[in-house]
Amino acid sequence: MDRHGVLAAAAGFQRTNQDVAFHVVTAYYNLVTAQERLETSRQIVKTAQTTQDAAEAQRANGRATLPDVLNARAATSQSLYDLEASIGAVDTARVVLREAIGVEPSDEIQVADPAGLPLPTEVAQSTVDLVNTAKQHRPDLRAISEKLEAANAELKGAKSEYFPTIHFGASAGQQALWPSINASGPNPLGHSNEPVWNLGISVHWTIFDGGLRRHEVEAADSRRREAEHEKREKEDAIGREVWTSYVQFRTAVRQHEAAETLLTSATTSYDASLDAYRYGVKNLVDLVTAENQLAQARLAVVQSRSAVRIDAANLDYTTGNLLRQQPPVAQPMVKKP
């Protein structure tokens, strides 16, 4: 199930508003993150086991002590403990996702392989364009705009009460007259029909009303100004939200790039420390330190990748593009890592 599949499932349960969609997308990416963290935990266990095997081999050769082996075994046990926690986190995230979609918890849910998910890295629009897009697409701002339009219409109606009302009326008919001396023919008292018209105009103008109309105009104008103020505040808030989400996304992308660089360095450092330890150049403390740095770097990559995905979804959310069917202008450009 990909991101659009999750949104489609939410739509099937008639809960396709922005807030629910963002909740579903966030729950989905949290599950993806938990799965990636589980895979990373398995890698950490393998690395810890490698360190333990190296320590036991060195002790067998007489170049390591029992405390060294015990420390390595403790590190392996800790990694196994963390692995079980990661397994539980995946199960919990799966339950949260199914709850967000609106279905019963189950292990049958299928999620796309995290390695195949593209990672957003850039934004196609400038921040000014993103703010303008948000002002056009945000449903909360649209609701306030409709409220302002209604207030303007109310004010216009209240002012119109000062003007007179003019009513026009007209009617037409056919009138039958009998007897009639105007009838032609041998029977001067026969029937006679004549058309009848009626035109009328009336003017109603209230001169004195004890200030009622003035009060209604002032009240309508107050509601209009209140709606205008609310709209300005919402536009300002949207601008701040878009800027904040954009900065967060940009920061997350840069942190992910730094985490990838850190992982490369930590991997190289651990491999070099492992070789040096096997040749007796370094001690176990140096190797365990490199192992811990590698574990932290792996987790940092997972966490930073998760932040990029969620912050990209948050940017879509703040610009009002999360539920748009067509690719929005502010849709982040993506490339596979």
CATH number for the domain that contains residue 222? 1.20.1600.10
Domain enclosing residue 286, as ranges: 124-162+212-326
User: Higher-confidence residue: 48 or 331?
Assistant: 48
Residues 317 and 239 in one domain: yes
Given 174, 204, 234, the domain boundary residue is 204
pLDDT tens for each residue of 191-247: 556 676 666 666 555 565 556 667 777 787 888 888 888 888 888 888 898 999 999
User: Higher-confidence residue: 182 or 302?
Assistant: 302
The band of 163, judged by pLDDT with boundaries at 50, 70 and 90, is low
**Average pLDDT of 308-313?**
91
Residues 184 and 298 in one domain: no
Residues 99 and 200 in one domain: no
Residue 334 phi, psi dihedral angles, 5° rounding: -125, 155
Whose structure tokens read 């216009």? 156
**Average pLDDT of 127-132?**
85
**Average pLDDT of 260-280?**
95
Question: Does residue 218 sit within a domain?
Answer: yes
| Rounded (10°) CA dihedral 53, 58, 59, 65 | -100
Question: Does residue 337 sit within a domain?
Answer: no
Residues 246 and 311 in one domain: yes
Question: Sign of torsion, CA 68 69 74 79?
Answer: positive
Q: How confident is the model at residue 81, as a pLDDT?
A: 96
The band of 172, judged by pLDDT with boundaries at 50, 70 and 90, is low
Residue 105 phi, psi dihedral angles, 5° rounding: -60, 140
Question: Sign of torsion, CA 182 183 185 188?
Answer: negative
Q: What is the count of structural domains for the chain?
A: 3
Residues 142 and 282 in one domain: yes
Residues 23 and 83 in one domain: yes
